[in-house]
Structure 1
Amino acid sequence: MFAAGAVLGLMLLSGCAGEEGSARGGSEDPSGEWGDSSDTTAPSLELDDDGSFSGTDGCNQLSGSWSIDEADHVQFEDVASTRMACEDVDTWLMDLSQATIADDTMTVLGTDGSEIGTLQRESD
């Protein structure tokens, strides 16, 4: 019950934050494509405006949801992925937990908060 209240509270806060220029509504809006989606062997993510995301680590497919926390970090939640054995592919993106964004660089952090990799915003 408490968890449901906390989720509702976060949803309300994230809705308000967008109006005040947070990462979601401001110049650091994380929605869009990150990495090179035209290269099927490279890691990439697509963050949709509805709070869902999809992507690949260069072999496995990833999906889930994302939100912005009070520190303007992107939080990845409900992450699901395929688990194929991939020869010669660095599957670092499978360990994503959160990310920070500065300009056109997304720094992806693992569950322990350490940097595991970066993705560049894909040009329009």
Structure 2
Amino acid sequence: MLQNRRIHRTAAVLAAILLLAGCAGTPSGAAVVGRWGSTSSGQPNLDIQSDGTFSGTDGCNRLSGQGQIDGDEITFGSIASTMMACEGVDTWLSKAATGNVSGDSMTVLDDGGSTIGTLKRSGS
């Protein structure tokens, strides 16, 4: 009888834990974290960490910084960049202010709110 009560209590505690874990859902910012863009020569890409740090390239220059993630959006803040001159490369990513994720695409906007480009989620 005592053993049955312990089993029932243990089952109830486990059920409560699983219920609470299910309510937690996807962690905030999980949609933003990861690799974006292409690693092909001359193409923009970013690697975004869960703490908002990011690094990558605009296709020519190395980029890095500390952003702020809120749900499916990242605000990039100041972007540190090398200053190489590359012919025939559109360095639009260096002008990024925010990025909004929808599915496997990140729409990148400048500080005026205009869309300046799109990055696709890339493999790990």
TM-score of the aligned structures, taking structure 1 as reference length? 0.73
**Secondary structure at 1:46's aligned position in 2?**
strand
**SS state at 1:40 partner:** coil
Quote the residue 2:42 is aligned against. Answer: 41
Answer yes or no: is the 8 Å Cα contact 2:38–2:44 preserved in 1: yes
Task: Give the letter aligned to residue 80 of structure 1.
Answer: A
Contact 2:62 2:82 in 1 (8 A): yes
Which residue is 1:114 aligned to?
114
> In 2, distance between residues paired with 1:107 and 1:86?
24
Counterpart for residue 18 of structure 2: none
**Does the 8 Å contact 1:36/1:44 carry over to 2?**
yes
How many pairs does the alignment contain? Answer: 101
State the AA in 2 paired with 1:35.
G
Q: State which structure, 1 or 2, has the greater radius of gyration over its C-alpha atoms.
A: 2
> 1:92: which partner in 2?
92
CA deviations on 1:59-91 (whole Å, 9 max, x unpaired) are 00100012224x742100231111111101001
Equivalent residues in 2 for 1:62-101, closer than 5 Å: 62-69=63-70, 72-101=72-101
Once residues 123 and 115 of structure 1 are traced to their aligned partners in structure 2, the CA distance between those partners, rounded to angstroms, is 24
Code of the aligned partner of 2:110: G
Pick aligned residue for 1:24 from 25, 29, 35: 29
Taking the aligned partners of 2:72 and 2:33, their CA distance within structure 1 comes to 13
- Structure 1 segments, 4+ long, off by >6 Å, are none
| Distance in 2 of aligned mates of 1:23 and 1:49 | 9
> 1:121 and 1:72, CA in 2 relative to 1: closer, same or farther beyond 3 A?
closer
Which consecutive unaligned segments of at least 5 residues does structure 1 have? 1-18
Amino acid at match of 1:67: Q
Question: What is the RMSD computed on CA atoms of the aligned residues?
Answer: 1.8
